[in-house]
């Protein structure tokens, strides 16, 4: 792909957007066809969950303007909320002149937990587990020779003593397992189950739970971007002019609120997850795992806080970072079954799970910036309302051309409610 900027994409009629995408990317139209189909068939769905009675669709928007680690990338985003795709794309455009998004990832190491109960001497059992560490890791590595061949495998074993719990103290063994390009839940859970017997023999205890931890703090992604001051200056829809310095400082003040207050941090992080989840879902990954990991990581110091940080660099430009666990895969599960997920991965040209994690974190950071910029200047409702009004118009029964007409009417009257939309529709008829 030469560029992720496709001028005028938003204004194209729906029927022309795939043609434009094909022309801009060099993909054949049939390679993109999955985006216009209903995606998963009822038959495919039937093999995925129990009691299947159908499928559930979400809108799929295209995140534009992203440059991630120097690579232009168009990003499919599955989300029902208006403004998210537009917001992320707009912020990616502002970040481009500062070099786009720079992202680093740690090794794709997951944590598997093994709970050991009824151990007589916790310290002694811990020491013995460490003495047998090499054998235990070798046991795990015998399970999956393919993962081993691709450079993955058991990396470490950590023993923790939980001193206080409702049932008293017990041992927890952490298996650190490099799962390469998989999300890794199955691999980790299998490995934990395999370790149960040897751990019981070593400790004399009783192994209880054997399951991965979603607080995947060994599998982190860190995205950063710089937005030049000249990109930040703007005049709001209601005519207020903001300088770049003003917008920068207001964004930093808004971030400080989230950094200090868990009530605000929850909403701030929700905005980050608007972007993150949209790409996680579009690629068939487990968004519940990512959500759980994100919020647990945001509380890692004992107080829930912002996942991102915003400040100014030495030249006075706005500089942002987002760090969070990112347990996504590109092999296995729905990523390889769901036709839309497969097309999404192909469109982004993603070759490794780390590359996908980098793209997702960039969208999360861009989305956070979009929310902070709006909140810190003109307020969130001004931009949000015209898109929201269209949804209200549809809910009131507007179709085709009526949708924009009813929405515009409601925005002009500053009343966006279903009864208002119904009233306008009635007048139109």
For the record, the structure tokens of 61 come out as 């928007």
Sheet holding 318-325, edge to edge: 71-78, 60-68, 101-105, 220-227, 318-325, 308-312
Per-residue mark of binding to ligand MEV, 32-71 (x: CB under 6 A): ----------------------------------------
Q: Contact 217/95 with Cβ under 8 angstroms? A: no
Q: How far apart are CA 61 and CA 346, in angstroms?
A: 16
Minimum distance of ligand MEV from residue 61's CB (angstroms) = 15
Quick check: 65 and 86 in contact, CB under 8 A?
no
How many residues are there in the chain? 429
Asked about 270 being catalytic, the answer comes back as yes
Minimum CB–partner distance for residue 268 and ligand MEV (Å): 5
Does position 371 interact with ligand MEV (CB under 6 A)? The reply is yes
User: Whose Cβ is closer to ligand MEV: residue 223's or residue 425's?
Assistant: 223
Q: How far apart are CA 150 and CA 48, in angstroms?
A: 27
Question: Could you say which residues in the range 67-106 bind ligand MEV, by CB under 6 A?
Answer: 81
CB 116 within 8 A of CB 181: no
> Minimal distance in Å, beta carbon 196 to ligand MEV?
42
For ligand MEV, give the closer residue by CB, 9 or 257. Answer: 257
Among 31, 81, 139, 291, the active-site one is 81
Q: Is 400 exposed, middle or buried (0-12, 13-18, 19+ CB in 10 A)?
A: exposed
- 384 labelled catalytic: yes
Query: Nearer Cβ to ligand MEV, position 267 or 299?
Result: 267
- Does residue 81 carry a catalytic annotation? yes
Q: How far is the CB of 104 from ligand MEV (least distance, A)?
A: 24
Out of 20, 36, 312, 384, the active site residue is: 384
Interface with ligand MEV, residue 308, by CB under 6 A: no
For residue 384, the minimal CB distance to ligand MEV (Å) is: 8
Helical residues (DSSP H) of 285-400, grouped into ranges: 287-298, 339-348, 353-376, 380-395
Q: Is residue 286 annotated as part of the catalytic site, yes or no?
A: yes
241-280 residues in contact with ligand MEV (CB under 6 A) are: 267-268, 270-271, 274
Choose among 350, 212, 356, 204: nearest CA to 279. Answer: 356
Q: By CB under 6 A, is residue 194 in contact with ligand MEV?
A: no
Which one of 36, 133, 148, 270 is the catalytic residue?
270
Count of residues that interact with ligand MEV, criterion CB under 6 A: 9
Give 46: exposed, middle or buried? Use CB within 10 Å, 0-12, 13-18, 19+. Answer: middle
Shortest Cβ distance from residue 396 to ligand MEV (Å)? 22
209-246 core/surface letters (b: 16 or more CB in 10 A; e: else) = ebebbbbbebbbbbbbbbbbbebbebeeeeeeebebeb
Interaction between residue 380 and ligand MEV (CB under 6 A): yes
Catalytic residues: 81, 270, 286, 384
Interface residue list for ligand MEV (CB under 6 A)? 81, 267-268, 270-271, 274, 371, 375, 380
């Amino acid at each position: 792909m030469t560029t992720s900027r496709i001028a005028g994409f938003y204004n194209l009629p729906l029927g022309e957007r795939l043609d434009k995408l094909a022309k801009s990317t060099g993909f054949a139209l049939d390679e993109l066809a999955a985006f216009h189909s209903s995606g998963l068939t009822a038959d495919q769905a039937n093999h995925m969950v129990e009691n299947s009675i159908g499928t559930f669709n979400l809108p799929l928007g295209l995140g534009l303007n992203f440059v991630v680690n120097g690579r232009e990338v168009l990003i499919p985003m599955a989300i029902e909320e208006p403004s998210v795709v537009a917001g992320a794309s707009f912020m990616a455009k502002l970040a481009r002149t500062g070099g786009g998004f720079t992202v680093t990832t740690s090794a794709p190491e997951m944590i598997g937990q093994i709970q050991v109960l009824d151990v007589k001497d916790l310290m002694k059992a811990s020491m013995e587990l460490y003495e047998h560490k090499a054998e235990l890791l070798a046991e795990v590595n015998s399970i999956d020779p393919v993962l081993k061949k691709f450079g993955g495998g058991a990396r470490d074993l950590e023993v923790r003593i939980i001193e206080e719990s409702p049932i008293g103290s017990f041992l927890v063994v952490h298996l650190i397992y490099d799962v390469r390009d998989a999300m890794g839940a199955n691999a980790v859970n299998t490995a934990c189950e395999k370790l149960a017997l040897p751990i019981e023999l070593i400790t004399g205890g009783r192994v209880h739970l054997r399951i991965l931890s979603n607080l995947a703090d060994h599998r982190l992604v860190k995205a950063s971007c710089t937005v030049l001051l000249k990109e930040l200056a703007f005049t709001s829809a209601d005519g207020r002019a903001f300088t770049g310095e003003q917008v920068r400082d207001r964004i930093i003040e808004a971030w400080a609120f989230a950094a200090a207050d868990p009530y605000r941090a929850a909403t701030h992080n929700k905005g980050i997850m608007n972007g993150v989840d949209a790409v996680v879902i579009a690629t068939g990954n487990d968004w519940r795992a990512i959500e759980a990991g994100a919020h647990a990581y945001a509380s890692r110091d004992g107080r829930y806080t912002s996942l991102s940080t915003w400040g100014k660099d030495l030249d006075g430009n706005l500089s942002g970072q987002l760090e969070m666990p990112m347990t996504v895969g590109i092999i296995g599960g729905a990523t390889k079954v769901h036709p839309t997920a497969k097309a999404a991965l192909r469109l982004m040209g993603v070759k490794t799970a780390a590359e996908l994690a980098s793209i997702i974190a960039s969208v999360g950071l861009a989305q956070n910036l979009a929310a902070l910029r709006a909140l810190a200047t003109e307020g969130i409702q001004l931009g949000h309302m015209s898109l929201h009004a269209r949804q209200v118009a549809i809910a009131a029964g507007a179709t085709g051309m009526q949708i924009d007409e009813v929405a515009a009417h409601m925005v002009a009257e500053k009343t966006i409610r279903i009864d208002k939309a119904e009233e306008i529709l009635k007048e139109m008829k």
